[in-house]
Amino acid sequence: ESGWSLFGGVSYSSNKDRLNFGGTEIERISQLTHAKWTASYDFSDHLAVKNGAEFFRNDYSEALTKENLERNFGDNQGYLFTEWDWYISQKFVLRSGLRAGFSALADQKWLDPRASLAYKISENGTLSLAAGRFHQLPEERFRVLNANLKNTESGHLILNYLYQKEGKTFRAEAFHKSYDHLVRFEGNPQNPQSVRNEGEGFARGFDVFFRDRESLKNTDYWITYSFVDSKRSYFQYTGQVQPDF
């Protein structure tokens, strides 16, 4: 045997929405085909790799049914990625990777490096640090208005501590995320005009989670707390505002 683990799959989805806004009938159709292939190999107990490729075909249309008016777009998207796990020692694990992508409609190519480092600081506790760059294409309802829209971009930096022992779990995480090329437009979300990539923003904060299934008999309880400070210039807002998500 070669030692390689191979996986492949194809999926297809289709969704149709029929809406009525004050007598105006709108029909939206979204179709997505997704194919993915991966190949994994363990070179040794200390080194493993996972390579893969993905392809998306996205077709979207909006129509005013009574007026017989329609606008649409079709896009081919391709991705290549590689992930490497390095077991440096019994306490250190490094995961690094690259993800490359392209969009035919946006006429854009991109490359996202990502890495994470985990260190086992005790028998039950692990400290990890992760950083990476991410791209995401805008929503279909905006791309159909401006086929030249590019990706939104974000950079992530996350520090995490995890403790697990005998039915108890404690997790604390701090993060900072930056956003660029967010979608902005004039008007309102129901009728956006002059759609473009001009927004930016940030999100920073921390999460704390504690779960206990051991201390109290027949009892499972957990406590969580989250704090987020986030502002973005996006959609119809003229300055940076706190997003509602």
Per-residue pLDDT of 40-67, as tens digits, reads 999 999 999 999 999 999 999 999 988 8
| Phi, psi for 189 (deg, rounded to 5) | -60, -25
Which of the four pLDDT bands, split at 50, 70 and 90, describes residue 21?
Answer: confident
Which of the four pLDDT bands, split at 50, 70 and 90, describes residue 2?
Answer: low
Q: Which candidate, 121, 230, 235, places its Cα nearest to that of 179?
A: 230
Q: Which candidate, 208, 152, 142, 137, places its Cα nearest to that of 175?
A: 208
Tokens of 61: 């249309």
Under a CB-based contact definition with an 8 Å cutoff, are residues 235 and 244 in contact? no
Interior angle at CA 231, CA 230 and CA 232, nearest 5: 130
Question: What are the distances in angstroms from CA 106 to CA 40, 61, 75, 149, 200?
Answer: 31, 17, 8, 6, 19
Q: Which candidate, 121, 200, 202, places its Cα nearest to that of 157?
A: 202
SS3 call for 142:
helix
186-209 pLDDT, tens per residue? 998 888 999 999 999 999 999 999
Under a CB-based contact definition with an 8 Å cutoff, are residues 160 and 173 in contact? yes
Report the pLDDT value the prediction gives residue 166, as an integer from 0 to 100. Answer: 87
98-157 pLDDT, tens per residue? 999 999 999 999 999 999 999 999 999 999 999 999 999 999 999 999 999 999 999 999
Report the pLDDT value the prediction gives residue 24, as an integer from 0 to 100. Answer: 86
